[in-house]
Structure formats: structure tokens, C-alpha cells
């Protein structure tokens, strides 16, 4: 059983569409991170959220941390083919990190 | 700066063989991690280290050993490889007080 549940597992959309992916847990985390991973490479950090209710924007990406610090969402506006990849959320517990299984996003031109 | 490097990139082992995966980072980070990534299961933490000479177990430590003799290196050992250890292994590091982990490019290991 994953400590962090991500949904949907797979998402295929057309260029220009909006989308939201979710990361949910029954545990409280001191911080939550979103990473993007491309095939054959390691994950690369997109954002870290620390405060309950926090919203961060990174160009067309909007990240939100739930008030109870148990869940998070990632919204992409006007998706582009370059957004294609595996999106992973990760929660910090003391010194270690727990990752979700990821959402594999495909944006078709 | 090379960041985080991993060697080898690919390896095929027979059941029962042993091997060591090497992770090196040149960012002077205190924390280092070893993960395995399997389809549909995301990244699972094997072992981690909060500093030179210290290691701790993660979520899936069985069948693996680690050593952190130097701050810049974190070694992952498989004493007797099993097919269940077929996976992609990632090393990561981070600085104390910072959340961001920097990942290496991964090692793809197949155990026959």
C-alpha cells in the first residue's frame, strides 16, 4: 500500500487542455514536493510546499498544499507537449522521503 | 559540477552474484539516499545516510547493505542478488535544511 496515492495513474490529453493531478495521504507531512521525471533520467524537483493551504505558481503550473498538510494538487494550464512526463509527489517524514507511484502525463500535439 | 553520478549505468547479474553500485556527489551534501523504482510503485527508499559514517534503513532495506565512508560517496551492495531485485536504482542527495533532493541518472539492474 502506497503511503501517498496519486491519481490518475495515466493521463493523455491534447495540447492546450487544462488538467489537475492529485496526491493524497492519510499522513501529515512536514513538507511535500513535486518532481517531474523523463524517461531514462532521475526526477527533477518542480516545487516544495511547506505550509498548509499554500499555493505556489510556476509559469503554467499551480501547486496547492492541503490545509491539513495531507494532500496536494498540481494544475497545469494550457498543457504543451513539453509537459509530457512522470509527475511524482513526495512527502518528507523526518529524514526520509516517501514517494507516490506517479501520474504519467502525455500531451499530444 | 557533475552533480550526482552513478556507476554503472546498466548491469546484468545472475542469481546469487554480488555487486556494488556507486553514487558520488560533488555538492558537499550531508544527506544521501538510495531508491529503487519499479513500474506502478514509484520510488521506494532502501537506505539513507545523514552524514559520513552513518546509515539508516528505509522502507525496503532487506537484501541490501550500504556504506558511507566518505561524505561524497554512498555505496549500495547486493550480497546475493535475487530476481526480485531487478529494478532501476536511483541515488539522491540533499543539503541539511533544504528539501530538494538531487537525483542521479539511475542504474538499470537485471537479475536473471
A25 touching B, CB under 8 A?
no
Cβ-defined contact of A95 to B31 (cutoff 8 Å)? yes
Instruction: Please compute the mean of the pLDDT values over residues A31-42 and round it to a whole number.
Output: 92
Backbone angles phi, psi at B59, to 5 degrees: -75, -35
Per-residue pLDDT of chain B (112 residues; tens, 9 = 90+): 679 999 999 999 999 999 999 999 999 999 999 999 998 778 999 999 999 999 999 989 999 999 999 999 999 999 999 999 999 999 999 999 888 899 999 999 999 9
Rounded CA-CA distance B40/B37 in Å is: 9
Residues of A in contact with B50 (CB under 8 A): 95
pLDDT of residue A2: 60
Residues of A in contact with B33 (CB under 8 A): 96-97
Average pLDDT, chain B: 94
Residue A27: pLDDT band with limits 50, 70, 90:
confident
Cβ-defined contact of B33 to A102 (cutoff 8 Å)? no
Residues of B in contact with A9 (CB under 8 A): 40
Q: Following CA atoms B76, B78, B84, B87 in sequence, which dihedral angle do they give, to the nearest 10 degrees?
A: 30
Return the residue matching grid coordinates 507537449: A81
Distances (CA, A) of B1 to A79, B24, B25, B26, B28: 32, 12, 9, 7, 11
Shortest distance, CA A81 to any CA of chain B (angstroms): 22
Which one of B58, B100, B104 has the shortest CB-CB distance to A42?
Answer: B104
pLDDT of residue A38: 92
* Interface mutation vs chain B, best among A39, A96, A98, A103, most B CBs within 10 Å: A96
B89 touching A, CB under 8 A?
no
Shortest distance, CA B104 to any CA of chain A (angstroms): 6
Cβ-defined contact of B48 to A96 (cutoff 8 Å)? yes
A23 touching B, CB under 8 A?
no
Backbone angles phi, psi at B84, to 5 degrees: -65, -10
Amino acid at each position: 500500500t502506497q503511503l501517498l496515492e496519486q491519481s490518475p495513474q495515466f493521463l493523455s490529453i491534447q495540447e492546450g487542455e487544462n488538467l489537475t493531478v492529485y496526491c493524497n495521504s492519510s499522513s501529515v507531512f512536514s513538507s511535500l514536493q513535486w518532481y517531474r521525471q523523463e524517461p531514462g533520467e532521475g526526477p527533477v524537483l518542480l516545487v516544495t510546499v511547506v505550509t498548509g493551504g499554500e499555493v505556489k505558481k510556476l509559469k503554467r503550473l499551480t501547486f496547492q498544499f492541503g490545509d491539513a498538510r495531507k494532500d496536494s494538487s498540481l494544475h497545469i494550464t494550457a498543457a504543451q507537449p513539453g509537459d509530457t512526463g512522470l509527475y511524482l509527489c513526495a512527502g518528507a517524514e523526518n529524514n526520509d522521503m516517501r514517494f507516490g507511484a506517479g501520474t504519467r502525463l502525455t500531451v499530444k500535439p | 559540477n557533475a552533480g550526482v553520478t552513478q556507476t554503472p549505468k546498466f548491469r546484468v547479474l545472475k542469481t546469487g552474484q554480488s555487486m556494488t553500485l556507486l553514487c558520488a556527489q560533488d555538492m558537499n551534501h550531508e544527506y544521501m539516499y538510495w531508491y529503487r523504482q519499479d513500474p506502478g510503485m514509484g520510488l521506494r527508499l532502501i537506505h539513507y545516510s545523514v552524514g559520513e559514517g552513518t546509515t539508516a534503513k528505509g522502507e525496503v532495506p532487506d537484501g541490501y547493505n550500504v556504506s558511507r565512508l566518505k561524505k561524497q560517496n554512498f555505496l549500495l551492495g547486493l550480497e546475493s542478488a535475487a530476481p526480485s531485485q531487478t529494478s532501476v536504482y536511483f541515488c539522491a542527495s540533499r543539503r541539511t535544511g533544504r528539501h530538494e533532493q538531487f537525483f542521479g541518472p539511475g542504474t538499470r539492474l537485471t537479475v536473471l
